[in-house]
């Protein structure tokens, strides 16, 4: 993808408006997980090293265009400073006199965090006047928040059309990884899609069976596909009203030469509870009171073989109730095998989505994957084949 990076920017003395994702979990006014803070450090450091004045734009929670003191970014400025190892100043607004005075006081290499952009209704409305007010405090724009790139907001899309626009370091890594996974992948390409509901991933499945060579379906959504094929699913969660939709996806996969992997065997129990007595059954062999809670060992072994015969893997969603032993085994086994292949350089393994990241962390293999996206909604919309406004705006500025 043709987007400009910071290596192409003249940074010395420039006011760099940087859209970052600081929407971090808080506990009693303290940041409880600094993953997103650490993710923005490479971009900030590159700008500082180049002599730029770094002005950070971010949102926190959903104040809906009003000033909500509990949603202020002020506590995050100090936490970011600790992670960065340098002071991070704070301004009580992102536009107007407070922002202007704070930006004017900056020296090259210094960092300033402006107040929550969502305190202004113009942010989510992508209001041009508000975008112009933001742009008044910058000479160039850097988007380092892929997680917000599916939103056409003033700070994610509007600004990119007003100032010379560049992808930040985290954005660059994300876009490069996604291009390797689906844009221009090494084939064969395999996908694993899990989770509970087919209804939330219809567009995803319909896009993937057209692009992939192989697609494995797991988790609760696999129950709907098994039911659609005439198998009994007992008391399992199942969207029976989507049976015909599932059959259409199976037919679409066939027309596009995408090999579909559905469970061969299943792990069942009468209760979804930690340590509940579990049994391995063949597909369709299930009692009325039993629930399908994980993929069986034969199913997982076949998935691992398919991964071994692939060059690229894209993964979204667990194979079972991974948070609850003994129903975590399928997801853990498959994740560790994918990580082993990626470590050996045999597989480009890209994963994303909240549950997927949690599962890979639980398996202890997140760092072994080629790339793990924490973007959530943006990652899912990209997998669905949708245009992301924040990314499109960066691409649109390449000719400038």
Residue of 96, 376, 377, 385 marked active site: 377
Upstream peptide bond of 326 is cis (omega within 30 degrees of 0): yes
Q: Which residue has the tokens 């004017």?
A: 104
For strands 265-269 and 291-295, give the pairing: antiparallel
| Cβ-Cβ contacts under 8 Å for 366 (sequence gap 6 or more) | 357, 360, 372
Closest among 22, 17, 28, 27 to 118, alpha carbons compared: 22
Task: Give Cβ neighbours of residue 29 (< 8 Å, ≥ 6 apart).
Answer: 75
DSSP 220: H
To the query of whether residue 172 is one of the catalytic residues in this protein, the response is no
CA distance 42 to 45: 5
**Could you say which of 100, 197, 259, 343 is catalytic?**
197
Q: Is the Cβ–Cβ distance between 369 and 351 less than 8 Å?
A: yes
Is 36 among the catalytic positions?
A: yes
Alpha helices in 143-201 (DSSP H): 169-178
Of 4, 15, 19, 36, catalytic: 36
| 8 Å CB contact between 144 and 20 | yes
CA distances from 131 to 73, 128, 142 (A): 19, 5, 14
The active-site residue out of 96, 109, 308, 354 is 354
> Is 377 known to be catalytic?
yes
**156 contacts 131 by C-beta, under 8 angstroms:** no
Rounded CA separation 351/182 (Å) = 12
Could you give the residue numbers annotated as active site?
Answer: 36, 197, 354, 377
């Amino acid at each position: 993808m043709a987007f400009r990076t910071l290596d192409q920017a003249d940074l010395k003395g420039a006011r760099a408006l940087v859209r970052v994702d600081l929407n971090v979990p808080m506990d009693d006014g303290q940041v409880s997980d600094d993953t997103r803070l650490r993710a923005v450090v490479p971009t900030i450091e590159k700008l500082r090293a180049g002599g730029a004045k770094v002005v950070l734009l971010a949102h926190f929670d959903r104040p809906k265009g009003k000033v909500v003191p509990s949603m202020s970014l002020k506590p995050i400025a100090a936490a970011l400073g600790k992670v960065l190892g340098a002071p991070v100043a704070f301004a009580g607004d992102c536009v107007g006199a407070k922002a202007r005075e704070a930006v004017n006081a900056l020296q090259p290499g210094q960092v300033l965090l402006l107040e929550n952009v969502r305190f202004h209704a113009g942010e989510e409305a992508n209001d041009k006047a508000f975008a112009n007010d933001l742009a008044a405090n910058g000479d160039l724009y850097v988007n380092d928040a892929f997680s917000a790139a599916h939103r056409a907001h003033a700070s994610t899309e509007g600004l990119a059309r007003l100032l010379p626009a560049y992808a930040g370091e985290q954005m660059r890594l994300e876009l490069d990884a996604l291009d390797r996974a689906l844009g221009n992948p090494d084939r064969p390409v395999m996908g694993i899609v899990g989770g509970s509901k087919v209804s939330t991933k219809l567009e995803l499945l319909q896009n993937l069976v057209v692009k992939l060579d192989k697609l494995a379906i797991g988790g609760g959504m696999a129950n709907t596909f098994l039911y659609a094929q005439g198998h009994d699913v007992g008391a399992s969660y199942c969207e029976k009203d989507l049976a015909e939709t599932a059959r259409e996806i199976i037919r679409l996969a066939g027309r596009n030469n995408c090999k579909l992997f559905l469970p061969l065997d299943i792990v069942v129990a009468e209760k979804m509870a930690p340590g509940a007595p579990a049994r391995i059954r063949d597909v369709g062999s299930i009692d009325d009171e039993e629930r399908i809670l994980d993929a069986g060992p034969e199913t997982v072994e076949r998935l691992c073989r398919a991964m071994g015969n692939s060059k690229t893997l894209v993964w979204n969603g667990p194979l079972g109730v991974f948070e609850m032993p003994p129903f975590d085994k399928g997801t853990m086994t498959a994740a560790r095998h994918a990580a082993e292949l990626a470590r050996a350089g045999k597989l480009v393994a890209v994963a994303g989505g909240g549950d997927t990241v949690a599962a890979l962390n639980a398996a202890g293999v997140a760092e072994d994957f080629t790339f793990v996206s924490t973007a959530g909604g943006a990652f899912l919309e990209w997998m669905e084949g949708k245009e992301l406004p924040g990314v499109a705006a960066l691409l649109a500025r390449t000719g400038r």
